[in-house]
Amino acid sequence: MERADSLLEVKVITPSGRVESANQLDVDWEELRDRYHIELAQMEFDHEDGISVRYNDDTLKIEPDNPEAREYVIQNFEIVMTD
C-alpha cells in the first residue's frame, strides 16, 4: 500500500471535542483512523512533479488540479481510509 511520502500535519477531534495534533496522541495510523474524527490532514506525494493534498471538512484539495493527479490521490486515499 502506498502512503503519502510526507504527511505534513494531521489534526483530529478527540472524544472531548478538542482539536489536537495527531503527533501529540502517540497512536498509530490505524488506531487514529478508527478512534478519532480527522479534522484536517495535509500530505505531499512524490508523483511526477509532486502533489500537495489537503483534507478538510470532508473535501480533498489537490494541487496541481489535473485528472491524473486527482485519480492518483483518490485511489491512495481510498486505500488508506478503507484498509
**pLDDT tens-digit map of 22-40:** 888 878 878 887 888 888 8
Sign of torsion over alpha carbons 4, 30, 82, 21: negative
Contact 77, 41 (CB under 8 A): no
pTM of the model: 0.64
pLDDT-above-70 percentage for the chain: 86
Q: Are strands 6-13 and 19-21 parallel, antiparallel or unpaired?
A: antiparallel
Where in the chain are the domains?
6-82
